[in-house]
Structure 1
Amino acid sequence: MMRPDTQRQRTLVDQLRPRLLRAVIRPDGEPVSRTRFADLAGISGPTAVRVARSLIDEGLLVEGEPLEINTGGRREIALRVNPKHLYVGVVVEDGLTTEGEGIATQALAAPATLDGSLAADPVVETVKDTKDISSLVSAIHSAVSKTRARAERQGATIHGIGVTLGGHVRDEWVHHSSNIGAEWDQPAALGSRIESLCATDGSPLPVLIDNDANAIARNLLLRGGMEPGSTVVLLKQLGIGAANLVGDAVFTGAHGMAPEFGHITVEYPSKRKCRCGNYGCLEAVATPSAVAKRLQSPGHLWKQALLAHQAREQVRSELVEAGGYLGIGLSSLINLQDPSKIYLFGVPEFIDEEHHPATATPYLEAMRTVVKSHVFPSAAQRFSEALMKESIDLRLLPSPEEAAVAATARWVERVMQE
């Protein structure tokens, strides 16, 4: 029978493991050693040693470089995440690497460590038939298989797969996604189908699936790049997504659907059909592809449409209208959610005023004007002209590699909770 003091020590170690992992994964500028962790956590040195040992024995941490000699005259050793303990992030995206030439769905896979470092270059596979989920599963399997084989040749081990895509995701089922449609008529969840196919390459790899915006929010939160209680909005070529934080947790609603920000109705009645099948959705009127369609060009040729259209005033007019619709959506989000801050990620031509003033400026000016005039009076000061840029933080969309790291965020959360 275990002695009470031994049981208490084990309980304390279990409670402190997530804290040490978080300190190593998200350092505040200084490497974390056992002694420094003891100071940060307010615990004894021997307890810090036991916590570190448990994570090293499990293969999550390793000893790194020697540090300066501490005040006690001992040389400290930095604690680092194990570079051989990897998770594969898979991003399912429309036209992920295109420059406007097409909208072929692709699956990009890349291995990442717990601290978000990429262990190898991405592998990209094209989904041959976007109407057939089996084709998507095959593309993901191929990308993961190549990534796994390469990692194993380097002596690393893959411990799980994280998949992200736009749409309603819950319990590893994709209930609806504009990338692949609905999954209700499928014999098994997408996650379990990927697991089954990847198991043919070796030991089984568990799969976690997440909405793309939620994954980016989780990753930012893990790395200290996002305020609690804030909102992430993604403005992509074809779609718009969002993720809400309630405190320091991603809120997905009662059924895992929230927030389908791109599918709130901002135009009624409307003749503009959205990819989801409804009319007047935000992403049907405010995205780059929506602007291209208004200019009588195919949605995926939006870059060419903006550059080549002869009627420059019409281009500006369409950008102003689209930006105004985004403003309607954002002001509604502000009035409903009261976020501490909005992180608006988008394509450069619609977000980067410095390098794309002809397109980004009219779009964003219209957005800001509508937000200022439609937010609830209590929020008017935060979204005034003077504070707008602070309250709505404009950023470029994550790179494919960054998105792959974000796809592993649920795995990092799970490891830290265990």
Structure 2
Amino acid sequence: MVFVSVIDEQNGAAAAPAGNTLPNSAGALFQLLRDGVPRTRADLAEMTGFARSTISARVEELLASALISPAGENSSTGGRPPSTFAFNPEARTVLAVDLGGTHARIAVTDLATRVLAEREERLDISQGPVVVLDAVGRIATTLLEEVGRSPADLLGVGVGVPGPVEFATGRLTSPPIMPGWDHFDIPGHLRRWFSVPILVDNDVNAMALGEHAVKYPDVSNMMFVKVATGIGAGIISDGRLQHGAQGAAGDLGHIAVPDGSATPCTCGNTGCLEAVASGPAIAAQLRESGFDVPHHTALLELVRSGDPEALLTVRQAGRQVGSVLASCVNLLNPSVIVIGGVVSTAGEHFLAGIREAVYSRSLPLATQHLRILGTQTRGQAGILGASALVTGHGLSVENVNRLIG
């Protein structure tokens, strides 16, 4: 059976299949142990108010599933020291897939999003879904073998894709840089290799989840902005990823820049942020000035060389991104904005341009404690988020109960 990531529009909570949601179920007790802190049966009884017999029964169920394991013994003032139990992230594995326009990054992680094996391949998304997903299946199978695990050990597969995803079905909707992918059944195709839940989301949403889970778990309101071939954002509000009504939330790239030009955009409009401040747009502006910048790598090399015109162009692109983000700051009031994507690696001039526009155009109250930072996950945000997408769903109360049952 395949599940896709679904966000309840009424409360932002992840919608889950119907199941045992009893507060004293094994799945509910497991949520208290997911933080990895060892606890005794007495600790759990005190935290929940449940009878010791109920706690013991639920602990035994979780031990049998391997989702928790003994964590040693606590000191005792007399008699036998009480045993402690903690989350066992090695109980299952997760396959995390981050697809970009020209690359595929694939990893096997444990249930705590720790990467066990990883590979990045040059893979052009325009080759179509069958070619790309077949390559993903082969690489993933090899990675599982490398870490001594099998597809039967998987909790699920998470996939981030560079296009708009209808989250209710996990299918792409008119992706501009992905010919042949429109409404293609990604989960159905990957089931040829992996008969587990397969969750598909936009790559920037996955990056937001990854950065949030690993670097900012205590931040309730943040945005992750990817600036590369396209421009998009993942929005975390009240600790939850927001998709919007059809999964189109966060599409910054097709917002008109306040002082933008009439530059045509791939969406059919003019003056979109993506048309004037994405990686290809910056490279095109520099080519018009006589620079030889055929691709992103050449652009980054030019900026890092300290060329004054390249630095000014990148900083201006940052200002244009910031001018759009300023409206987002006034509307959503995040406390952290993380900037990722290949253009963000151009250095502080790009970030400086973003900060300049945001702080000058946003309300003082909204920016009082706002931090605008570069990504801290070193290119792994996508696979970490794809892993978190799976564990957030697969380790929910209902699905743990189903797994045990």
Taking structure 1 as the reference length, the TM-score comes to 0.76
Q: How far off is 1:349 after superposition?
A: 7.4
Q: Write the letter of the residue equivalent to 2:178.
A: I
Q: Decide whether aligned partners of structure 1 residues 10 and 194 sit closer, same or farther in structure 2, where only a CA change above 3 A counts.
A: closer
Q: Report SS of the residue matched to 2:90.
A: coil
1:24 aligns with 2:3: no
Looking at structure 2, the residues matched to 178 and 391 of structure 1 have their Cα atoms a distance apart, in angstroms, of 33
Tell me what 1:146 maps to.
142
SS in structure 2 opposite 1:69?
A: coil
Flag the 1:214–1:37 CA change in 2: closer, same or farther, 3 A: farther
Deviation at 1:224, TM superposition (A): 8.1
Match of 2:281 in 1: 290
- Computed over aligned residues only, the root mean square deviation of the Cα atoms, in angstroms, reads 3.2
- The residue type equivalent to 2:396 in the other structure is M
Higher relative contact order (CA 8 A, sep 6+): 2
Matched, 1:370 2:357: yes
Task: Please name the residue that 1:318 is paired with.
Answer: 313
Q: Counterparts of 1:185-264 in structure 2 under 5 Å? A: 188-195=184-191, 197-198=192-193, 204-219=195-210, 225-227=216-218, 229-264=220-255
- The corresponding residue for 1:48 is 55
8 Å contact from structure 2 (residues 206, 381) kept in 1:
no
Specify which of 156, 170, 173 is matched with residue 172 of structure 1.
170
Secondary structure (helix, strand or coil) at the match of 2:133 reads helix
Corresponding residue number in structure 2 for 1:6:
none
Q: Equivalent residue for 1:66?
A: 72
SS in 2 for 1:331: helix
Count of paired positions: 369
Could you tell me which runs of 5 or more consecutive residues in structure 1 were left unpaired when the two chains were aligned.
1-8, 95-104
Partner Cα separation in structure 1 for residue 126 and residue 46 of structure 2: 54
> 2:131, 2:176 → 1: CA distance?
15
Task: Work out whether residues 90 and 162 of structure 1, in 8 Å CA contact, stay in contact via their aligned partners in 2.
Answer: yes
CA, structure 1 residues 395+305, in 2 after alignment: closer, same or farther (shift >3 Å)? closer
Question: For residue 99 of structure 2, what is the amino acid of its counterpart?
Answer: V
Give runs of ≥4 in structure 1 deviating > 6 Å. Answer: none
Distance 1:320 1:123, change over 3 A: closer
The one-letter amino acid of 1:13's match is: N
Contact 1:125 1:143 in 2 (8 A): no
Q: Work out whether 1:336 is the aligned partner of 2:316.
A: no
In structure 2, distance between residues paired with 1:397 and 1:273: 33
Relative distance call for 1:263 and 1:155 in structure 2 (3 A) is: closer
| Pair 363,111 (structure 1): closer, same or farther in 2 beyond 3 Å | closer
Paired residue type of 1:198? W
Partner of 2:111: 114
CA, structure 1 residues 307+408, in 2 after alignment: closer, same or farther (shift >3 Å)?
closer
Contact 2:34–2:86 (8 Å) recurs in 1: no
The answer on 1:392 being equivalent to 2:371 is: yes
Contact 1:68–1:76, Cα closer than 8 Å, also in 2? yes
DSSP-derived class of the 1:254 partner: coil
Q: Deviations over 1:293-326 (max 9, x none)?
A: 22112242221221457xx332232123112101
What letter corresponds to residue 412 of structure 1 in structure 2? Answer: T
Give the AA of the match of 1:213.
V
**Which residue identity lines up with residue 24 of structure 2 in the other structure?**
V
Query: 2:98 is matched with which residue: 83, 87, 91?
Result: 91
Question: Which residue of structure 2 lines up, in the alignment, with residue 98 of structure 1?
Answer: none
The CA distance in 1 between the partners of 2:388 and 2:355, in whole Å, is 32
